[in-house]
Amino acid sequence: MLRQLRSAPNLLTLMRLIFVPFVVVAIQQQNYTWALVIFVAAGITDGLDGLLARVLQQKTTLGQYLDPIADKLLLSTMFLMLSITHIIRWPYTILVFSRDIIILIVCTLLYATGTMKVFRPTWFGKANTAAQIISVPLALLYQINRSDWARLGKRWSLYLTVALTVVSGVHYVWRLAFDLRHAGAKEGGSAAGS
């Protein structure tokens, strides 16, 4: 585990986790330019860790869990802080958190009971994450530059986030139900065969 932690991609992921308190302080102190710089730097480390894992052939089990945790922690913290400071309205943040919490609870229960062990990300889920990643810097940018294009960018990226949050949540539940039904049919078939 320690050897996996010392790999370059996982060190970059850890760096992204270290960025979280600094971005919180920057937003709390209304230093939105600095918050934007930190968030963009975190985004660069996110792209680099995946690239390095492929190029250096350093894909690890730890990285597979740590990378999405770091992404979710950073994005969730950003949405929470931006709502606390009244930059993003609370309904957006509550919706984003509700989807993630429901999926986390369902997956934890299925994993704990041994019903399912692998949970693949969906394209809708990835699109939802991308929309959130776009919404955060646009919201910060609007605080720095109160132009019409920044206001429209913030508004429409949040609308897109809401739409994809609902669609990806429904799709994830539907796909889990399909996978569970398929697994149940397989078990029933194998039991009948024996």
For the stretch 136-190, pLDDT in tens is: 999 999 999 999 999 999 999 999 999 999 999 888 888 877 777 776 656 555 5
Can you give the pTM of this predicted structure?
0.82
Instruction: Give yes or no for residue 130 having a pLDDT over 70.
Output: yes
Q: pLDDT tens digit string along 37-78? A: 999 998 888 777 777 667 766 676 666 767 778 888 899 999
Closest CA to 82 of 19, 26, 130: 26
Closest CA to 79 of 100, 65, 51, 63: 100
2 vs 132: which has the higher pLDDT? 132
Instruction: Give yes or no for residue 27 having a pLDDT over 60.
Output: yes
45 vs 132: which has the higher pLDDT? 132
Report yes or no: 39 and 136 within 8 Å, Cβ to Cβ. yes
- What are the structure tokens assigned to 189, written together? 């078939």
